[in-house]
Amino acid sequence: MNKLIFRKLSLDILAFFLLSSLAITMIVCVFQGVNLLDIVSEQGHGIKVYFIYTSLNIPKIFSKLLLFTYFLTLFVILSKYEDNNEILIFWTNGIKKISFINFIGKLSIFFMLLQLLLNLIIVPYTQNLQQQYLKNSSIEFFPKLIEQKKFSSVMKNLTIFIEEYTKEGELKGIYIKEKIDINENKIITANSGKLFKTESGFSFKLIDGKITNITKSGSFNLGFKETSYELEDLNSKTRKEKKLNETETFFLINCLFEFIEQRKDNKVRCGLNNSFLVKNIYEELFKRAINPIYIIILSLLSSLIILKSKIVFFSNYYKLFLFLLGFGIIIFSELSYKFLFFSTVIELVFFFLPVLFILIFYFFILIKTNFKLKYL
């Protein structure tokens, strides 16, 4: 009988968690999707690229919201059980309050492991995949990115200026500047031309102009009657180096070991294109590995609902206090990593603070439930 009761509680919690997570994640996705529309409007990528890019952001959003949605789930379900007197089913079947709270704590371990899986493996992978996909996607609406009488830097190291667009699609007064490297620039000017779509990207057909190569040693000009300028593998100004949140967890751990071995400065170079501050690596690993522990803290806090006052007036204030306290703990968990690197003592305090919270809450619960410890 007790197994059936706990199974119903588990299903209620899981159902509400899935529905609330889906609803809140979709709302956040819509707002973020609006902000990411510049992928189409400013970077010229297609609608397919936009939808795949935003979809790959869902695991990150879900992971960020998991702490709050799980706390909200427990708070709502346990409040419902308490208000509807469904909680009495547990007590009449001989289930002690401490056993009930232990069950909630054990259930929270599953959600903690879920967030650890997301933080350590899935989110970094999808964030990296998201950026790589955007970088390797071609620009489909390149002509719309070039505005008349305006310098447009639509690609990295490339600036284009068009004096006039004619109704026939002809371009007048063309200026193209390409930065080849730190010591060399190429400038192409043409009286007229056209822009064509090719299999590999886009191509300018330029008429009556000149090419100027500028180097440290000087410059030289080359005139032409007609030439073409190929824009192959057009992928806008997408960065090549990874951000910390796109970097695999084990890769960051290796970076820390490299820093411990070198101990030259506060910056460690990892891989070919990535240089990270050690402080930022610590913060990122802290967020990924330590923050999920707060799920257990919030589950114990939510369980305190069953210890509420029997007076309705005080009961409502008690619930409000618990909810605000839980919300404060969520905010603290998101900001705590900022206090790292002040000193070794502070680092240790913030590493072990979640465990301390769990012990304090659990000890408080033991006292409130009149649980008697038996020593052998």
Which H or E element spans position 171? strand 171-181
Please indicate, yes or no, whether residues 356 and 216 belong to a single structural domain of this protein: no
CA-atom Rg of the chain in angstroms? 30
Task: Please report whether residue 272 resides in a domain.
Answer: yes
Task: Please report whether residue 374 resides in a domain.
Answer: no
Task: Please report whether residue 157 resides in a domain.
Answer: yes
Structural domain of 79: 2-136+242-368
Task: Please report whether residue 313 resides in a domain.
Answer: yes
**pLDDT by position in tens, the chain (length 376):** 678 888 899 999 999 999 999 999 989 888 877 666 655 545 555 667 777 878 888 999 999 999 999 999 999 999 888 888 888 888 888 888 888 888 998 999 999 999 999 999 999 999 888 877 766 665 555 555 677 777 877 667 788 888 887 777 788 888 888 888 778 888 888 888 887 777 666 778 888 888 888 887 778 888 888 888 877 654 454 555 667 777 888 888 887 777 766 655 555 556 545 556 677 777 788 888 888 988 998 998 888 887 765 544 467 788 888 889 889 888 888 877 666 655 556 666 666 777 777 877 777 777 766 654 443 3
Please indicate, yes or no, whether residues 262 and 132 belong to a single structural domain of this protein: yes
Please indicate, yes or no, whether residues 57 and 35 belong to a single structural domain of this protein: yes
| Residues facing residue 202 across a β-bridge | 197, 231
The Cα 13–Cα 21 span in angstroms is 12
Total residue count of the chain as it appears in this document:
376
Please indicate, yes or no, whether residues 120 and 170 belong to a single structural domain of this protein: no
User: Hey, CA dihedral for 62, 63, 68, 70, is it positive or negative?
Assistant: positive
Please indicate, yes or no, whether residues 225 and 280 belong to a single structural domain of this protein: no
Please indicate, yes or no, whether residues 289 and 176 belong to a single structural domain of this protein: no
Please indicate, yes or no, whether residues 158 and 188 belong to a single structural domain of this protein: yes
pTM over 0.85: no
The pLDDT value recorded for residue 90 is 86
Task: Please report whether residue 169 resides in a domain.
Answer: yes
How many structural domains comprise the chain? Answer: 2
The Cα 44–Cα 42 span in angstroms is 6
The pLDDT value recorded for residue 373 is 45
The pLDDT value recorded for residue 111 is 94
User: In the structure encoding, which two tokens stand for residue 339, read together?
Assistant: 């206090």
The pLDDT value recorded for residue 62 is 93
Please indicate, yes or no, whether residues 122 and 194 belong to a single structural domain of this protein: no
Task: Please report whether residue 100 resides in a domain.
Answer: yes
Please indicate, yes or no, whether residues 266 and 361 belong to a single structural domain of this protein: yes
Task: Please report whether residue 270 resides in a domain.
Answer: yes
Instruction: Among 232, 267, 300, identify where a domain stops.
Output: 232
Please indicate, yes or no, whether residues 196 and 340 belong to a single structural domain of this protein: no
Please indicate, yes or no, whether residues 225 and 269 belong to a single structural domain of this protein: no
The pLDDT value recorded for residue 14 is 94
Instruction: Among 232, 260, 288, identify where a domain stops.
Output: 232
Please indicate, yes or no, whether residues 115 and 146 belong to a single structural domain of this protein: no
Instruction: Among 214, 232, 250, identify where a domain stops.
Output: 232
Task: Please report whether residue 373 resides in a domain.
Answer: no
The pLDDT value recorded for residue 353 is 73
